[in-house]
């Protein structure tokens, strides 16, 4: 703490009553110049104090701003679906897809447009329109409080479900069992296998069953869209998970950031390397990871840098294969559960005929069959519709069109 500067002595005037007028005049002049000197010194001190006060005021302002920021509750990210004439907006919250109608505050009324991404508070009031950078970073992660996928929605992966339960669900739900036995649960679980076989579904289902927040980030987006930001995004991802625990981090297409090192020295490769190093250091430094579990998925297991498979990193591998006939039959049943089916629909026969189809393609098959029934103005889906759908998808695949485009991630 700085002390107050000491004040100069106050000048005094002692006039000798015996002195001549001339001597008195000189004494008065000397006294006047003393007073001027003291005045100048006091002015200098006043300026210094005023500068210091301005400095302290700035500090107080900055601390007050920081305090306000710390006190403000987090906001949710949403997309504006519609703006009405009555200055209301329909916003859809990311993650839970809840749509709400909310009033637009007058200061945003002129600028808000359909499609804008916005930050909303607990009462869904729009607080600000997000700029591209905030927006992009928010979009890089998909955060869902409780994904709407359960184990019962996954066909033919009983063994894999059990393995995921042991490796991810049990450590979250019963950490004491691991402590009692004295074993460390797996650090990270890597799901690998061909595309569209249910890897993402498995991760979502385990988040749902453990009431954990599901935080997904796609490796490919990290390197394609967020050039120069990959390692920061990985840091954000782990920070976000720690704030939202219990949480499951799911890194899809991890091969995009964790492929075997190449000798090429392009800046893109350097960026991918940096992102992977950040990921490894987050995993290594994440010893006491509390109620956060890490999962990842890849279709390119062969490409992975073995560094990420070391103990303490992705040390539990679960292969998710293409479905066999029994699994295909189950998947078809799951996806047509809510369909109005004719008696002649024979899933066993369909499963035999769809050798080589993955889960996503089987889902497309059921949707296409439904479309054929609608086109025919029927409310019941028949075996013939499934046959036609099958033919259509086979033809599209043979023409080299991206197969089964109705499959939505």
Q: Which helix (H) or strand (E) holds 188?
A: strand 188-192
Say whether 97 sits in a helix, a strand or coil: coil
- Site stretch for ligand ATP (CB under 6 A), options 36-44, 122-130, 170-178, 190-198: 190-198
Residue 97: CB minimum distance to ligand ATP, A = 15
Stretch of residues binding ligand ATP (CB under 6 A), selected from 195-203, 205-213, 223-231, 288-296: 195-203
Sign of the CA dihedral with 326 first, then 331, 337, and 342 last: negative
User: Please, which residues have CB within 8 angstroms of residue 92's CB and are 6 or more apart in sequence?
Assistant: 78, 79, 81, 98, 99
Q: Minimum CB separation from ligand ATP for residue 278, in Å?
A: 22
Q: Pick out residues in 388-407 that bind ligand ATP (CB under 6 A).
A: 407
Least distance between ligand ATP and beta carbon 214 (Å): 13
- With tokens 């019941």, the residue in question is 380
Site pattern 229..258 for ligand ATP (x: CB under 6 A) = -----------------------x------
Among 79, 144, 200, 213, binds ligand ATP (CB under 6 A): 200
CA 160, chain centre distance (Å): 26
In three-state secondary structure terms, 365 is helix
Task: Tell me the number of residues near ligand ATP by CB under 6 A.
Answer: 21
Q: Which residues contact 251 (CB under 8 A, 6 or more apart)?
A: 216, 217, 218, 219, 237, 257, 279, 294, 295, 296, 297
Closest CA to 191 of 158, 163, 172, 223: 163
Give the binding range for ligand ATP (CB under 6 A) out of 28-36, 121-129, 191-199, 269-277. Answer: 191-199
To the nearest whole angstrom, how small is the minimum distance from the Cβ of residue 381 to ligand ATP?
17
**Interaction mask 349-388, ligand ATP, x per CB under 6 A:** ----------xx--x-------------------------
**Nearest residue to 354 via CA among 377, 322, 384:** 322
Given 331, 341, 351, 365, the residue binding ligand ATP (CB under 6 A): 331
Q: How far is the CB of 334 from ligand ATP (least distance, A)?
A: 5
- Enumerate residues 150-179 that contact ligand ATP by CB under 6 A: 154-157
Q: How far apart are CB 295 and ligand ATP at their closest, in Å?
A: 11
Residue 252 phi/psi, 5-degree rounding, is -85, 155
Minimum CB–partner distance for residue 218 and ligand ATP (Å) = 9
Closest-CA residue to 51 (of 12, 106, 2): 2
Contact 322, 363 (CB under 8 A): no
Residues at the interface with ligand ATP (CB under 6 A):
154-157, 195-201, 252, 297, 299, 331, 334, 359-360, 363, 407, 409
């Amino acid at each position: 703490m700085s002390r107050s500067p000491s004040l100069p002595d106050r000048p005094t005037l002692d006039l000798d009553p015996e002195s001549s007028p001339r001597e008195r005049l000189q004494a008065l002049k000397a006294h006047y110049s003393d007073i001027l000197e003291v005045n100048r010194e006091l002015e200098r001190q006043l300026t210094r104090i005023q500068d210091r006060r301005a400095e302290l005021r700035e500090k107080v302002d900055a601390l007050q701003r920081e305090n306000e920021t710390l006190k403000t509750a987090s906001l949710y990210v949403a997309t504006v679906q519609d703006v009405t004439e009555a200055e209301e907006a329909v916003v859809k919250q990311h993650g839970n897809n809840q749509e709400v109608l909310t009033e637009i505050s007058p200061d945003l009324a002129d600028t808000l447009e359909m499609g804008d991404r916005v930050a909303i508070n607990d009462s869904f009031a729009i607080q600000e329109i997000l700029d591209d950078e905030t927006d992009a970073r928010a979009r890089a992660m998909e955060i869902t409080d409780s994904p709407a996928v359960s184990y019962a929605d996954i066909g033919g992966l009983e063994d894999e479900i059990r393995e995921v339960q042991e490796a991810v669900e049990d450590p979250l739900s019963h950490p004491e069992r691991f402590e009692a036995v004295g074993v460390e649960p797996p650090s990270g679980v890597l799901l690998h296998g061909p595309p569209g076989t249910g890897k993402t579904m498995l991760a979502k289902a385990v988040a749902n069953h453990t009431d954990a927040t599901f935080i997904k980030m796609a490796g490919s987006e990290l390197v394609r869209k967020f050039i120069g930001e990959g390692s920061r995004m990985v840091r954000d991802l782990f920070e976000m998970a720690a704030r939202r625990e219990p949480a499951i981090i799911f890194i899809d297409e991890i091969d995009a950031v964790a492929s075997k090192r190449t000798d090429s020295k392009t800046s893109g490769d350097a960026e991918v390397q940096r992102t992977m190093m950040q990921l490894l250091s987050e995993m290594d430094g994440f010893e006491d990871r509390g109620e956060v579990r890490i999962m990842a998925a890849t279709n390119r297991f062969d490409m992975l840098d073995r560094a990420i498979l070391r103990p303490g990193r992705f040390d539990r591998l679960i292969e998710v294969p293409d479905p066999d006939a029994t699994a295909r039959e189950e998947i078809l049943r799951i996806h047509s559960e809510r369909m109005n089916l004719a008696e002649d629909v024979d899933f066993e026969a369909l499963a035999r005929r769809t050798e080589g189809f993955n889960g996503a393609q089987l889902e497309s098959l059921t949707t296409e069959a439904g479309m054929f029934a609608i086109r025919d103005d029927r409310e019941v889906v028949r075996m013939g519709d499934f046959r036609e759908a099958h033919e259509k998808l086979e033809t599209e695949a043979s023409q080299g069109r991206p197969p089964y485009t109705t499959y939505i991630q």
